[in-house]
A = this chain, B = another copy of it.
Amino acid sequence: MVALTIGKLASATGTKVETVRYYERAGLIDPPARTDGNYRAYRPEDLERLRFIRRTRDLGFSLDEVRALLNLAAQRDRDCGTVDELATRHLEEIDRKIADLMALRRELAGVIASCAGGTMADCRILGAFAPSAAS
């Protein structure tokens, strides 16, 4: 029998067992067949599918986006432009996040650089956190 237990499936993909069950609840993987003892019995295709999920999650796609990608991948005759579009939009979002973090980083670094020691009462960092008054 080529069937995998959930533990094998999980360790083969670097996923936790609970996460696999969570993906099933979330509708990302179909409920597999069960053994006599009510254990989940996965097929090799399920391993492929879970790997796909892991990979796309690692690339920062949300579960909704992963679901969409899985659905698209299943329609093998359709044009793949939609995939490109989805991935490109995701890339743009990553770019926005990077830009936001860099702006924040610049601001925080400025605040920290202003520190000249002393007590809390005259701390420049805390001062920078209190917009109007010095308290």
Contacts and interface: CB of A to CB of B under 8 A. Distances in A.
Interface in A23-81: 45, 48, 51-52, 55-56, 58-60, 69, 72-81
Given A126-B83, A129-B69, A130-B52, A91 B108 contact: yes
B117 A79 contact: yes
Contact of A105 (B84, B98, B130): B98
Interface of A, helix, strand, loop or mixed by DSSP: helix
B48 A120 contact: no
A109 interface: yes
Given A69-B126, A97-B101, A112-B87, A118 B56 contact: no
Q: List the number of copies, as a whole number.
A: 2
A112 B91 contact: yes
A75 B135 contact: no
A108 B94 contact: yes
A19 interface: no
